[in-house]
Chains A and B, each alone.
Chain A
Amino acid sequence: MPETRTAPVAAVADREFTVVERSQAQLVFRRFLQHRAAVVSLVVLVAVVLLAYVGGWLWKYDAGQYTPDNSVPPSWEHPFGTDSAGRDQFAQVLRGTRISLQVSVSVAILATTVGTLWGSIAGYFGGKSDTVMMRIADLVLTLPLIAVAAMLAHNFGGSWYLIALVIAALYWAYVSRVARGVVLSLREKEFVEAARALGASDTRIILRHLVPNALGSILVNLTILVALAILLETALSYLGFGVTPPDTSLGLLVSEAQTALTTRPWLFYFPGLFIILIALTINFIGDGLRDAFDPQQTKVRQ
């Protein structure tokens, strides 16, 4: 169809619909809502978080409180049953969820902050500083995380924030690679050149122009990091290098229950299911965010 014929139609259509300006955030939010699995996951995750924090506070038993019922299977009185000492597993799982969430969210925030700055600085300045900084990140990546984390946590660990610090000290390198990749492509863009021409300092360009534009990839990475961190934290606690009693985490609960798998299976299944539920919903949310921030990819994955 010739161009001239469509033009009036388009003009009419323009007048018919009043166009409301949408911000970038609104666009992203709308696209996120189209990803059904991500929206469902977000609802489930919010429910789990509320259950862990509000539900744990309202629940009639405290974590670690001894009840007269020893080794009872799940019932209305004890939805997740009790262990051999009579502790209510529902309260234990909720407390484990709180600790595991606190560890993984702290890891994600810490590692993302450090990694983003590290990667942005390396990518922005390029040259020698880039080489040196990325070699350091590569060094961290050559070591199996769980081994180094276990070694450090054995002597420095025990409480949840120290575990978070140890894991974050290793995960920032992943983030820095992602951030560097994004910044490398961004720094050649015209708006960066324009900012420099206007006399903006390097710090201002990095913090005001590069980091906000890389925010999409960083945010996607942050959600995935939460899922990875929760798996690493539970694995560390399972091996005995993570959170130690009387504190508890979901991994520690599984570890304590593994010998009782045949006699008291409920002790084993519920904490494991909570780990899966949290990691699964976070991964789906990350997938939804990726599609929302990068409309190009929506064609490929949905």
Chain B
Amino acid sequence: MLAFAVRRILYSIPVLIVASFIIFALGSASADPLAPLREKNPPAPQNVIDAEYLRLHLNQPLIARYFSWLGGIFHGDFGPSVVSTASIGHDLGDRFLVTIRLIALAMVIALILAVVIGVLTAVKQYSKFDYAATFVGFLFLAMPAFWFAILLKQAGISFNAAVGGQAISTIGQATVPPPQGAGPYVADIIGHMILPTISLALISYAAWSRFTRASMLEVMNSDYVRLARAKGLSRRTVMVKHGLRTALIPLTTVTALDIASIIGGAVVTENVFQWKGMGDYLITSIRTNDVYATASWLLLAATVVIVFNLIADLLYGVLDPRIRYA
């Protein structure tokens, strides 16, 4: 197990390095960080452009720039931003903490919803509940994340107007400046998380609940479940002790594979609720042709995806005793 984990981690490193190079090359090829300066009105003086050219290492070839960027990351320097006073590493760290709490909570809620609905629809196959839940699931699969988020936001605004106060926060990830004291501070953060989390969780749960349903049905039609029933165990015991565990194991892989699309969903959701998180950082850096910032963002996202897949692989071994890592 330990040997497998170590081998798996070592194997992830070259993947990350190749990914980082592709990310950096794509970012550098697709954007000119000096373009906003050149297009400025009135035009920026030539010596300013020349200084920026040097500061952003544009005098070096791509490969040299890539290696100095990659080398810098190991001591926390993510390269020069187009905003000369900004530190990409520092900003990304702040934004990451904001976004990860949205993603983590939304994923937990989505997983609980998916398992509960998936199992119930499998147990009550072809019932009215099954049909209704299936339709709602398909509806959320077809729902554009931003459209649903805007609707929820509007519902929050209407609710606030009806209550006559600021019951649910609809803008930003926290009040500026933050309220004094630990209690109000946490309450403020949670209040701001309600709507975006619901939005992201509902957009994400549907695919997983469909998967859980199919997986649960497959297990319930299997021979060993029939045997357990034949031995005289109750339907409930068989379901919970024999069926559920086997049915849920593949869900870990599916969840890990979907993490990239959840990050994408978070970008859109944050945009609607005007959070200053990873999503906003990405959009700003793309708009301002901030090549190092965009590449660092993508590298961080790719690392998160790879780490999640690593955890899923290791969990798989723990959950499924049939899998033995040689």
Chain A residues in the interface with B (C-beta under 8 A): 135, 138-139, 141-148, 150-152, 154-156, 227, 231, 234-235, 238-241, 251, 254-255, 258, 261-262, 268, 272, 275-276, 278-280, 283-284, 299-302
Contacts and interface: CB of A to CB of B under 8 A. Distances in A.
B144 A147 contact: no
B154 A262 contact: yes
Contact of A147 (B31, B221, B264): B264
A97 to B, nearest CB: 14
Contacts of B143: 276, 279
A99 to B, nearest CB: 15
A139 B21 CA distance: 11
Interface in B268-326: 268, 271-272, 282-283, 286-287, 294, 297-298, 301-302, 305-306
- Size bracket, chain B contacts: 35 or more
Interface in B238-292: 257, 260-261, 263-264, 267-268, 271-272, 282-283, 286-287
A271 B302 CA distance: 33
A144 B23 CA distance: 12
B141 interface: yes
Contact of B150 (A139, A234, A261, A299): A261
Interface string B140-183: 01111111001000100000000000000000000000000000
B260 A141 contact: yes
A272 B142 CA distance: 10
B30 interface: yes
Given A143-B260, A151-B294, 20 more contacts: A139-B15, A142-B260, A142-B306, A143-B298, A144-B301, A147-B264, A147-B282, A148-B26, A154-B30, A231-B145, A235-B144, A238-B144, A251-B144, A254-B147, A272-B144, A275-B142, A276-B142, A279-B144, A283-B141, A284-B138
9 contacts: A142-B260, A143-B23, A147-B263, A155-B30, A231-B142, A239-B268, A268-B150, A272-B144, A283-B138
In the complex, the 3 A-B pairs of residues with the closest C-beta atoms, listed nearest first: A279-B142, A146-B264, A280-B142
Contacts of A268: 150
* Dominant secondary structure at the A interface: helix
B256 to A, nearest CB: 11
A146 B268 contact: yes
A274 to B, nearest CB: 10
Contacts of A275: 142, 144, 147
Interface of B: 15, 18-19, 22-23, 26-27, 30-31, 126, 138-139, 141-147, 150, 154, 214, 217-218, 221, 257, 260-261, 263-264, 267-268, 271-272, 282-283, 286-287, 294, 297-298, 301-302, 305-306
Given A151-B26, A151-B286, A151-B294, A142 B144 contact: no
Contact of A254 (B22, B144, B261, B267): B144
Contacts of B141: 227, 279-280, 283
Contact of B30 (A147, A151, A239): A151
A116 to B, nearest CB: 20
A143 B304 CA distance: 10
Given A154-B31, A283-B138, A238 B298 contact: no
Contacts of B145: 231, 235
A283 B147 contact: no
Contacts of A150: 282-283, 286
A276 B147 CA distance: 10
Contacts of B257: 141
Given A151-B27, A155-B30, A302-B126, A142 B146 contact: no
Contact of A152 (B26, B218, B264, B297): B26
B274 to A, nearest CB: 12
B298 A147 contact: yes
B76 to A, nearest CB: 22
A168 B217 CA distance: 34
B302 to A, nearest CB: 5
Contacts of A145: 260-261, 264
A143 B144 contact: no
A34 to B, nearest CB: 15
B22 A139 contact: yes
A213 to B, nearest CB: 23
A142 B19 contact: yes
A275 B150 CA distance: 15
B142 A238 contact: no
B260 to A, nearest CB: 5
A135 B18 CA distance: 10
A79 B186 CA distance: 47
Contacts of B154: 261-262
B285 to A, nearest CB: 9
B234 to A, nearest CB: 24
A272 B257 CA distance: 28
A230 to B, nearest CB: 9
Contacts of A138: 15
A144 B267 CA distance: 10
Contacts of B287: 154
A141 B2 CA distance: 27
Nearest to B216: A300
Nearest to B135: A37
